[in-house]
Amino acid sequence: MVMQHSFKRLWNTTFLFVGPIWFLLVWMIWSSGQLPFIDDKLSFLGVVIPGFLLIYGSGFLIEGWHEKKKKGRV
């Protein structure tokens, strides 16, 4: 089965839908009172934001790896 659209378009569309859900989860945790101190909040944001960006960026690393693998087969 061949993908009809580019991986980049699929990945960005996925994050268009996942992003707001991720934000909602973060907002629910943030406003729940589970992070009473500023250090807790900074630690939370220091994990959540880079984690989201790392997951987003890893998709493009996977795409590059797959393209290199595909070129090796041809």
Which among 41, 5, 47 is positioned nearest to 22, based on CA atoms?
47
What is the reported pLDDT for 5?
72
What are the extents of the domains in the chain? 38-74
Cα 18 from Cα 22, distance rounded (Å): 6
Q: Which tens digit of pLDDT belongs to each residue from 2-50? A: 667 788 888 888 899 999 999 999 999 999 999 999 999 999 999 999 9
Between residues 60 and 2, which one has the greater pLDDT?
A: 60
pTM: 0.73
Cα 72 from Cα 44, distance rounded (Å): 42
Between residues 63 and 50, which one has the greater pLDDT?
A: 50
- Return the DSSP state at 46: H
Residues written for the chain: 74
